[in-house]
Structure 1
Amino acid sequence: MDDVPSLSLAFLGDAVYAVYIRTFLIKEKPYLKPEQLHREANKLVSARAQSEALLYLKNEGILSPDEWDIAKKARNKSSATRAKNATIKEYRNASGIEALIGWLELHDAQDRIDVLMEKIIERGRDDDE
């Protein structure tokens, strides 16, 4: 399982990340209309937000060295394409956090995903204030 390509891990991690955020929003704000939920989710799931989340987790010492290596490897292998509202660097960082989440998912590390996603959501809340 450790030979799964970084971009495949990012593909999986993108889905896990999005479901986690959507689940959080439904629990936190069940009264929002679908278009409002979509806007709220995009604040946390956009390439820019994911890039900021990865750098936050790294700079705060929340990621282990192995986790950072997984994210960094994916970041460096990301394609030259980018999201329409993000820089190439942000897009690559987003691929890094997605790959890490995908790797954790494949290794049945749900507890660790929970910790990382809770930190990301807390940080997002702090930014809103």
Structure 2
Amino acid sequence: MEDNLFDVKWDSSSVKQISPLTLAFVGDAVYETFVRIYLVYKYRDMQVHNLHVKAVKFVKAHSQSEIIKKLETQLSEEEMYFFKRGRNAKSGTVPKNADVQEYRFATGFETLVGFLYLTGRLGRLNFLFRSIIMLESEGKF
């Protein structure tokens, strides 16, 4: 085990050994953390409940599905591979507020985020997160 788990970087072939739902598990946490940090940065004095309401807009399956549909033309072949692995994974559950297709696209999005994070592609993550902020500011999800 490494001394600093934040410094652990995986190569693509190692990440391919991880199930897409496990990558989505990581990606969900990374994306939620990004959203929370962004909202606190933008709305420093907002009450926590209101921050939570704004965060839900970003992280719900419908929004993630819309986001990835708008960003998929900007994905590399390797990024599309991981998105599709997550989208096609059978999770066995669907949240009550999302349909199956939205949930699968959201899972693909989270899988992609998990892949980028674990492989240390933080510049690419930053690019995607900035694109998401622009989409949100334009009311596109």
Q: Under TM normalisation by the shorter chain, which class is it?
A: over 0.9
The structure that has the greater radius of gyration is: 2
Task: Measure the CA separation in 1 of the matches of 2:45 and 2:132.
Answer: 23
Instruction: Report the equivalent of 1:13.
Output: 27
| 3-state SS in 2 of match to 1:127 | coil
Q: CA deviation at 1:26?
A: 0.5
Q: CA deviation at 1:80?
A: 3.8
Show structure 1 runs of 4+ deviating over 2 A.
none
Q: Contact 1:81/1:88 (CA < 8 Å) preserved in 2? A: no
Which runs of 5 or more residues in structure 1 are unaligned? none
Identity across matched positions, percent: 37
- TM-score of the superposition, structure 2-length normalised? 0.86
Task: Measure the CA separation in 2 of the matches of 1:81 and 1:12.
Answer: 18
Task: Measure the CA separation in 2 of the matches of 1:49 and 1:78.
Answer: 20
Q: CA deviation at 1:30?
A: 0.8
Residues 15-94 of structure 1: pairs in structure 2 closer than 5 A: 15-58=29-72, 61-94=73-106
Q: Match of 2:133, as an amino acid?
A: I
Greater displacement, 20-29 / 117-126 = 117-126
Task: Measure the CA separation in 1 of the matches of 2:75 and 2:92.
Answer: 26
Cα RMSD over matched residues?
1.1
Which runs of 5 or more residues in structure 2 are unaligned? 1-13
Change (3 A) 1:82 1:37: same
State how many pairs are aligned.
126
